[in-house]
Amino acid sequence: MQTLRAKFALLLVASIVAVVALITLAVMYVFATPKDTEVYLLARQFITMERLAKQNPETEVLSRQPAEGAPDAEQTELMRAATEALGVPLDLTVTHKTDDDRFRTVSLRVGPSSWILVDIDPPSDPELWVWLALITLGVGSIAVFAANRMSKPLALLESAVEQVSPDGILPALAERGPAEVRATAAAINSLSARLKHAIESRMRLVAAAGHDLRTPLTRMRLRAEFVSDDEERALWLKDIDELQRIAHSAIQLVHEETTKTPPEIIQLDELVRSVAAELQEQDFEIEVASSCEVHVKASRLTLSRALRNLFINAATHGVRGTVTVTGGAMAQVTISDQGPGIAADILDQVFEPFFRADRARSQKIPGAGLGLTISREIIRKADGEIAIANRPGGGLVQVVELPAVAPGTGIH
């Protein structure tokens, strides 16, 4: 009952049934026969029955004994008084038929050993419940149809959000159906087109800026070579290198955002060991502590780039990195390091572009601060997720989760 469609239907059913029930009760109250009038009407009927029975004393409808049951003195006196008031006092007795005192039988004497037995049961309550049940059933059917129609635009929004691609682009929706559904689909398609245009425009701007920086940086490097002071020249070259890394990382980030490489089935543990071995040859302190065979679907080139960035991050900022690979429904790569960790109040900023945990010492370790940003984009494109947290014993732990697949799964 948590969906909006169900809530709409329940609200419609409850409101209509409540209105019908109130109207029914009001009609029953307004048009109900007064008690005194009802007693006199029954008395007239008994008088008529008694006259007819005396005219035909051998009729089979007469009983040879009164009705069984406990006498109801109050009702008996009431009915006798009514017949007496009408000028024809009758010898009658009211008894309870069952343990339920609502059901009574009138035994009317019409001869020395003959009686007329008349049930005076009250109106049956189930009739009212059947009426309300039929109303509820009919209203419920209409309410479900109406709720389904009213919630279609919302269901369309939900479907569109679920189909948003990792790059943030909404899928194109068919503009058909009722007017409100068509209007909603058209609005979503318009929004998607504007988002795509804005993202592509900003990506082109970043790529153009990074590319255009290369030429003046090259000229600056050439001029720096002619600086006579060795110490001054070294400072100039260091700053130029930093700018070049930033420009290269920005272009690489745009490349990861816009390039769509075909996925393939990859043995993740083998790829992890391969990347770790490559970095060990470059004197990075990274090792694979344990692993198990598990396969994922992703681009080998981009996923290896993402893992390389994470391993380098652990080996440089974390002094030494240890990697484990586990399987299951989700393949998991856990990278633990022995570094100082990151302050809890800025831990949620680690994936922001150009983030540095310690800006005062940001230049001691080369880098543009885009490695984690690029890695997250790659992993999300593979329908995975990455999380970073401080270890209880010190250092950071980076956890990459990717959907595991069977080795023989085809690529579609």
Q: Which CATH number does 262-405 carry? A: 3.30.565.10
Strand, coil or helix: what is 306? helix
Question: For 341-348, what is the mean pLDDT?
Answer: 81
Domain with CATH 3.30.565.10 in the chain: 262-405
Condensed to tens digits (0 to 9), the pLDDT of residues 89-100 reads 888 888 886 665
Q: Residue 175: name the closest of 149, 151, 156, 162 by CA.
A: 156
Instruction: Give CA 45 to chain center in angstroms.
Output: 65
Does an H or E element contain 177, and which? none
Q: Which residue has the higher pLDDT, 48 or 180?
A: 48
Q: How many CB atoms lie within 10 A of CB 187?
A: 15
> Which pLDDT band holds residue 1 (cuts at 50, 70, 90)?
very low
> What are the distances in angstroms from CA 315 to CA 311, 320, 339?
6, 5, 9
Question: For 42-54, what is the mean pLDDT?
Answer: 84
Q: What pLDDT score does 359 carry?
A: 46
272 has pLDDT over 70: yes
Task: Report the C-alpha gap between 317 and 361 in whole angstroms.
Answer: 11
Q: What pLDDT score does 360 carry?
A: 41
411 has pLDDT over 50: no
Do residues 55 and 107 make contact, with C-beta atoms less than 8 angstroms apart?
no
Report, at the CATH architecture level, how domain 165-259 is classified: Orthogonal Bundle (1.10)
Condensed to tens digits (0 to 9), the pLDDT of residues 101-121 reads 667 888 888 888 888 888 876
Task: Report the C-alpha gap between 207 and 193 in whole angstroms.
Answer: 21
277 has pLDDT over 70: yes
Q: How many CB atoms lie within 10 A of CB 265?
A: 16
Do residues 69 and 96 make contact, with C-beta atoms less than 8 angstroms apart?
yes
Long-range contacts of range 124-131, CB-CB < 8 Å, 24 or more positions apart?
128/24, 131/24
Q: What pLDDT score does 374 carry?
A: 78
Work out the percent of the chain whose per-residue pLDDT is above 90: 13
273 has pLDDT over 80: yes
Condensed to tens digits (0 to 9), the pLDDT of residues 147-183 reads 777 777 667 666 776 666 655 667 777 777 677 777 8
Q: Residue 305: name the closest of 353, 260, 271 by CA.
A: 271
Whole-prediction pTM: 0.48
Q: What pLDDT score does 143 carry?
A: 73
Q: Residue 298: name the closest of 159, 164, 166 by CA.
A: 166
Do residues 272 and 323 make contact, with C-beta atoms less than 8 angstroms apart?
yes
Question: For 258-285, what is the mean pLDDT?
Answer: 87
Q: What pLDDT score does 128 carry?
A: 62
User: What is the overall mean pLDDT for the chain?
Assistant: 77
> What are the distances in angstroms from CA 139 to CA 18, 126, 136, 237?
11, 19, 5, 80
Q: Which of 87-96, 133-142, 241-250, 352-361 has the highest mean pLDDT?
A: 87-96
Sheet hosting strand 92-96, strand order edge to edge:
92-96, 104-111, 114-119
Min mean pLDDT across 31-45, 48-62, 284-298 is at 31-45
Burial class from Cβ neighbours inside 10 Å (0-12, 13-18, 19+) for residue 379 reads buried
Q: Residue 294: name the closest of 321, 252, 325 by CA.
A: 325
Min mean pLDDT across 6-10, 99-103, 117-121, 362-366 is at 362-366
Does an H or E element contain 238, and which? helix 230-258
Q: Which residue has the higher pLDDT, 185 or 36?
A: 185
